[in-house]
Structure 1
Amino acid sequence: MNGFDKAEFLNTELHQMSVIEKMRYLAEAYTEKIIFTTSFGYEDQVITDYIFSHNFPIKVITLDTGRLFEETYKVYRSTVEKYKKPIKAYFPPADKVEELLEKKGPFSFYESLENRKECCFIRKVIPLKRALNGNEIWITGLRASQSDNRSDMKEFEWDEGNQIIKYNPLLEWSLEDVKEYVHENHVPYNVLHDKGFVSIGCAPCTRAVRPGENFRAGRWWWEQNSGKECGLHEK
């Protein structure tokens, strides 16, 4: 059975299960080969709580781009302190970051879409591929309503670029569902969410969202019609 067929099988066979039941099933069926990547946003904190509170043997990792907000590091620390569980950080290759800054300076991503995608590739995509290597299930905090690009996603999908099955447990959740879970369960969260930051990435590339703006408007706000993606979740 190829990867696409495996993803479709999981969509069918696990359809009636709760999120907890699905995670338990996956943790047992894909022992040592299941991973969750967190950026410490609302959605990811919900999944982290699921994993750590139920002691599921699922690796939890984060991508440290070197350009994160101080508030993001604070919720990283508070999450580790609350659950007493490790979250492994993956960093971009130092030589490529050094070369990029030497050739193009620290803010080249503002100058063109090509430059921005180059920075994202070095700081996010390369360490992600290293983290995913050897795994078969990748858990994400993606929600369908986050952007038009994600509206047709399925709970289980075959990620051709990364050669892995992607599991999106919060796919049908609304932002209010996520907030309610976080507050009712006293889950640590990034205080930037209280200041209008809906989707939080690197500090130079993220701003608060204004009333009436799209969910992704705060990411790479200087770009128009770029898709507002960094390359982590391209199919």
Structure 2
Amino acid sequence: MNKAKIEELNSRFRDKSPEDLISWFLDEYGHRVALSSSLGAEDQVLTDMVLKIRPDARIFTLDTGRLFPETYDLIDRTNKKYNVKIEVLFPDYKRVEEMVNSKGINLFYDSIENRKLCCHIRKIEPLTRVFKTLDAWICGLRAGQAVTRQNIQLVEWDDNNGLIKVNPLAYWSESQVWDYIKANKVPYNPLHDKGYPSIGCLPCTRAIEPGEDVRAGRWWWENPESKECGLHKR
């Protein structure tokens, strides 16, 4: 897909529903497109949309080994509600062992470099493996989530992974996400009700205070401009 086609798709779907955009990619790419889910609220909305359009669509998630118990429970509840088996990816245990034994179990608190190394081994490397089977991937980014995401488009070329990146909820507000969850009875992580708008690994996620940015609880010891794992690097 060239730049002109991406621009054409952004123009065509700018005022259409997320389901319209998802349908186009599922029809066009079949099992060469997949939803990458972190089990967050946005990704749960997309899971509901994707499976209503195509019950056998590919959905995958990451088990970094440091997730909240509530996240593991949500994987199970989601599988049972939609009668699916979300594909679970794991990091290379040898790489994790080497990292932990050389830098410590909670190395990510010591420096941004260590944190990014941990993200790379636990998240980026397993994702790179699955990306080799895809031509496009769908994710739950919204422009309003963080300063690092404010310029995203519905359809982008992902230079980092050599894929088309689809952001169906790019222009949705947080309230639209929750309105959809409530209206469609979509299962979600109960931590969202306890002040966790963005949920990643347990040691790197905290509840936020009133008025804080929705991503303030992720890697809270870092500057906002560095708060990405590398997957969505721009």
Please give the TM-score of this superposition, normalised by the length of structure 2. Answer: 0.95
- For structure 2, the 5+ residue unaligned runs are none
* Aligned partner letter, 1:82: K
Alpha-carbon deviation of 1:32?
Answer: 1.9
1:97 aligned residue? 96
Instruction: Select between 91-100 and 220-229 the one with higher mean Cα deviation.
Output: 220-229
2:213 aligned residue? 214
SS in 2 for 1:30: helix
Distance 1:112 1:31 in 2: 41
Instruction: Select between 40-49 and 132-141 the one with higher mean Cα deviation.
Output: 132-141
* Aligned partner letter, 1:95: K
Distance 1:22 1:188 in 2: 23
Instruction: Select between 42-51 and 54-63 the one with higher mean Cα deviation.
Output: 54-63
1:137 to 2:136 alignment: yes
SS in 1 for 2:35: strand
SS in 2 for 1:68: coil
What does 1:136-155 align with in structure 2 at a 5 Å threshold? 136-155=135-154
SS in 2 for 1:36: strand
Alpha-carbon deviation of 1:119?
Answer: 0.2
SS in 1 for 2:164: strand
Instruction: Select between 148-157 and 220-229 the one with higher mean Cα deviation.
Output: 220-229
Instruction: Select between 95-104 and 16-25 the one with higher mean Cα deviation.
Output: 16-25
C-alpha RMSD of the superposition: 1.4
1:177 aligned residue? 176
Residues paired across the two proteins, number: 234
Distance 2:115 2:108 in 1: 4
Distance 2:176 2:168 in 1: 13
1:125 to 2:127 alignment: no
Identity across aligned pairs (percent)? Answer: 47
Please give the TM-score of this superposition, normalised by the length of structure 1. Answer: 0.95
Compared CA separation, residues 56 and 21, structure 1 to 2 (3 A): farther
- For structure 1, the 5+ residue unaligned runs are none
Distance 1:205 1:48 in 2: 24
Displaced runs of 4 or more, over 6 A: none
SS in 2 for 1:145: coil
